[in-house]
Structure 1
Amino acid sequence: MIAKQSLALACLVVSLSAGSAVAQDTVSVTKQNFSQAMTDLAMQKEFSQGADNTWNHHRKPMPLDEQPAPLMNRDTVYSFAILDGGGDVAITLPENDGRYMSLHVMEHNHVTYKVFYGPGRYVIPASKTTDFFYANVRMQVNAADPADVKKVNDFQDRLKIEFLNSYKPKSFKATNWNMAEFEKLHKMYVAEAQKQGVTGTMSTVAHPVSMEARNRGAAIATGLLPDKDAVYLTAMHKVEMGKTYKATFAVPAMSDPKLGFYSVTVYGDDQYLKTDKGSTISNSEIKLNPDGKTFDIYFVAESEYGNGKHANELIVPTAPFWTCTRIYMPGESVVKGAYKLPKFAS
C-alpha cells in the first residue's frame, strides 16, 4: 500500500509530447540523473501548457474524465510556473479568506528548496536554485461548490512573479532524454515504490535523502510535498454495496491549525474518482462530534447521499473501494506515524 499520492505533475510524462524546444542530442538516463529526467519531463508538460516564466493555472478540481493517474485529489487547485533560476525571483501570494495556500519551490533535480505558506512576497535567490525550477501554488477548494471554485480562481489571478534586478529570464528548453533508458529505470523504481512506499523520499535542501530514495519517490510521486508539509494515508475497504458504513476519525494534529487542513477522498476499486458529488470532504465542511476531537463519516450508497441523515457523508462507489486521508501542515505526531486511520463499522 502506498501512503503517498501521485500529482498531476507526475502524470503522462512517459508519453509526453512537449511544446518546448528540445535539444537535438539524446541524453542518457542513469540512476545518477533519473530524478532530474523525471522532473524535467514533468516540467515539459507544464511548460507546453504556458508556464513559461509565468503561471499555468489549473482552474477546476480534477474532472472525472481527465484523471491522468490514480488517487488524484480534488481538495486543492494548482498554479504552476517553470522559472529561470539564473536571477532572483519574487513570488507574491495574495491575501485570501484564510484558506490553505502554499508555494512549493522544487529544483530541477527533484529537491525541494522551500515551502512557503499564506499571503506574502517570497524571494527565491538565484544562488539557492538550479538552472530552472518550478513553483507550484496549491489552494484549498470545495470541489462541490462552484462559487468556491470561482473564488479560488480569483485568488489565482492575483498571483505574481517578478524577476529582480532587471534580470531578463530565458525560456526553459527541454532535454531530449533517452526514453528507452528512462522507461526501464522508471519501471524499476515504480515497482520498488509499490513495495516500500514513498514516505521519506521527498528530498529537501535542508534534509537531503539518498539517491535511491529520491529516485523511488520521484518515479511515482513527482512534485509531492515533503513529509513535514503533507501526509497522505490510503486504505482499501471491503464492503457490500447498498450498506452504510461509519468510521470515527480523530482530528489530526496540525502544525498550524489556522493555515493547514485535512480531507478524506473516496475512490473506486481501481483508485480512480467515480462521482463528482460525495467524493471529497474537508475540515471546512466536516462537523465535529461534541468532544471536539473526533468526527464521524458515513459511507453511503449514491441513492442515499444527501438525504439529510448524516452530517458528514461520502458515496461508496464500488466494492471494494479506497480512501485517501490527506493532512496538510501535519503536526509532529502525524509526521512520525502516530495518527491511525479508523476501522469501518456497518
Structure 2
Amino acid sequence: MGITATSLLSPQQGSRVWAQDSNCPEPAIVLKSDAVVPVTKANFADAETQTALVKYVAKVAAETCSTGMGVIWNDGKTADPKDRTVIRINFDTLYSWLILDLSTPATFTLPETDGRYQSAMVLNGQGYVYVEKEPGDYTLTQDEVGSRIALVAFRTGVNIQDPDDVAQAQALQAKLSVKQAKTGEFVQPNQWDLQQMLALRAAYNQERNDKGVKSESLFGRPGEITPEQNNMGVAVGIGGLPKEGAVYLFYTPTSTDPQTLTLRDVPNGDNAFWSLTVYDKDGFPSGDNFNLNSAFAKTNPDGDVVINLGGNSDQENYLEIYPGWNATLRIYNPTPAYFDGSWVRPELQIK
C-alpha cells in the first residue's frame, strides 16, 4: 500500500529519462511537459498514481535490464524496511511487478499454486483497483481497465522465516508470465506539485482516522467506490486490495504504554493469512520488530495469539512501539465471518 512522493529527478521534456546501465535499454518513460500542475481533490488520485508508477517503471527497468514496460520483475525478497518508496507496504508476501501500456492488449497468467496464496492486483492510472485470485489467463485492455497505463502487482504468500518456504514461493513467482505484442511506453503528461499532493494525502489520512472509515469502502473499481473514497484509499496506501482480496484494520493509539492485542479465529481464507505491522507516523516501519505474520506467530494454550506491543522485547510475539506509532492488521481473502459481524474486531488493551 502506498507510495511516497519525490521529484521526477530532473527529466528532460519530451524525452526518455532514467538512463541506466549502458548495456541495457533506457526506461521507456516520456515526460511530455515539465510544467508543474497544482494538485487538487479533482486530480489527487492521478497525481499520486502517476508519481508512483513512474518510479516502478524505473525500478523494473533497472532490475530486469529492460525498458521497464511489459516485463515482470520478481522481487525474491520481502519489502526492504529501509525503502521509502512505498508507505504501509506489507512484509508478508513476495511482490512481482508489471507495468503495462495498454495501447496494445496484454495477457498475464497466474499459475496453479498448490494451495499457496497468490493474487494479481490490477491498478489503473487513477488508482482504482480490482484483484484476480484464481489460476488462469487474464487479458487486459484499455477499455476494461479504464486507462492506458496499468500496474499489475502480484503477491505470493511466504513464511519469510523458513528458507525452504521462501524458495518455494520464489519458484512460484517464476511461473508468472505475460504476453503483449508491443510493450509501449509510460507517458507522463506533466509534473505535479508534490507539496500540495502530500498535504492532501495527510488531510485524507486524518479524515479517515477521525471518521473511522473502513478499508473495504476505499479500494475498488469505478462505480464500486466514489472518487472521494478512491482519493482516501490512494492516500491511505495506493495499491490496497479491494475487500474480496483483503481488509485492513487500522489502529491509531495515542499511548505508548505497553499493550496487547489478542487474536483468535481470524477470518482469513484457507490459503491466506493475517499479519500485524507497526508503522511510524509517516507510514514506515521503524526498529527491528515491526511485523508479525500468522505463519510464525506463537499461539497460547487457549488458541489465542497475544501480541505484545511495547515493553520487554523478550516477550513472545513482541512488536516495538514509539511516539506516533500506528498499526495495520491485514486479513487476506476474508471470509463471511468478517463481513457479517460474527467475528468481532479485537482492540488494544493497555497492560
> Shorter-chain-normalised TM-score: which range?
0.7 to 0.9
- Alignment correspondent of 1:127: 143
In structure 1, how many angstroms separate the alpha carbons of the residues matched to 2:108 and 2:340?
31
The AA in structure 2 aligned to 1:116 is E
In structure 1, how many angstroms separate the alpha carbons of the residues matched to 2:90 and 2:260?
22
Tell me how far 1:302 sits from its aligned partner. Answer: 6.0
CA RMSD of aligned residues (A): 3.1
The question of 1:34 aligning with 2:50 is answered: no
**How many residues are matched?**
318
The AA in structure 1 aligned to 2:221 is T
- Alignment correspondent of 1:218: 234
Q: Assess, with a 3 A threshold, how the Cα gap between structure 1 residues 240 and 228 changes in structure 2: closer, same or farther.
A: same
The AA in structure 1 aligned to 2:104 is G
Q: Assess, with a 3 A threshold, how the Cα gap between structure 1 residues 224 and 54 changes in structure 2: closer, same or farther.
A: same
In structure 1, how many angstroms separate the alpha carbons of the residues matched to 2:33 and 2:112?
44
The AA in structure 1 aligned to 2:285 is L
Gaps of 5+ in 1: 1-5
The AA in structure 1 aligned to 2:292 is I
Q: Which moved more, 1:40-49 or 1:64-73?
A: 64-73
Contact 1:269 1:318 in 2 (8 A): no
| Structure with the larger RCO, 1 or 2 (CA within 8 Å, 6+ apart) | 1
Superposition pairs for residues 52-201 of structure 1, below 5 Å?
52-68=69-85, 71-112=88-129, 114-129=130-145, 130-163=147-180, 167-177=181-191, 179-180=192-193, 183-197=195-209, 199=215, 200-201=217-218
TM-superposition CA deviations, 1:63-91 (whole Å, max 9, x none): 33324465432112211111021233221
In structure 2, how many angstroms separate the alpha carbons of the residues matched to 1:124 and 1:259?
26
The question of 1:341 aligning with 2:350 is answered: no
In structure 1, how many angstroms separate the alpha carbons of the residues matched to 2:183 and 2:348?
52
Contact 1:302 1:317 in 2 (8 A): no
- Alignment correspondent of 2:7: 15
TM-score, normalisation: structure 1:
0.78
In structure 1, how many angstroms separate the alpha carbons of the residues matched to 2:242 and 2:7?
26
Contact 1:93 1:160 in 2 (8 A): yes
Tell me how far 1:52 sits from its aligned partner. Answer: 1.2
Tell me how far 1:127 sits from its aligned partner. Answer: 3.5
Q: Assess, with a 3 A threshold, how the Cα gap between structure 1 residues 146 and 84 changes in structure 2: closer, same or farther.
A: same
The AA in structure 2 aligned to 1:136 is A
Q: Assess, with a 3 A threshold, how the Cα gap between structure 1 residues 219 and 46 changes in structure 2: closer, same or farther.
A: same
Gaps of 5+ in 2: 10-16, 19-28, 62-67
Q: Assess, with a 3 A threshold, how the Cα gap between structure 1 residues 66 and 47 changes in structure 2: closer, same or farther.
A: same
The question of 1:284 aligning with 2:316 is answered: no
Contact 1:263 1:280 in 2 (8 A): yes
TM-superposition CA deviations, 1:211-235 (whole Å, max 9, x none): 2222232234212112332211232
**Residue of structure 2 aligned with 1:263, choices 275, 279, 283:** 275
TM-superposition CA deviations, 1:39-98 (whole Å, max 9, x none): 111110101112311123333223333244654321122111110212332211233352
Q: Assess, with a 3 A threshold, how the Cα gap between structure 1 residues 72 and 185 changes in structure 2: closer, same or farther.
A: closer
Q: State the identity %.
A: 25
Superposition pairs for residues 327-338 of structure 1, below 5 Å?
327-335=331-339
- Alignment correspondent of 1:315: 319
The AA in structure 1 aligned to 2:131 is V
TM-superposition CA deviations, 1:252-307 (whole Å, max 9, x none): 224xx22322112234677643344x532322234556666x433345756525xx
Q: Assess, with a 3 A threshold, how the Cα gap between structure 1 residues 336 and 83 changes in structure 2: closer, same or farther.
A: farther
In structure 2, how many angstroms separate the alpha carbons of the residues matched to 1:139 and 1:251?
23
TM-superposition CA deviations, 1:313-332 (whole Å, max 9, x none): 12335478543211111234
Q: Assess, with a 3 A threshold, how the Cα gap between structure 1 residues 240 and 187 changes in structure 2: closer, same or farther.
A: closer
**Residue of structure 2 aligned with 1:325, choices 321, 324, 329:** 329
Q: Secondary structure at the match of 2:45?
A: helix
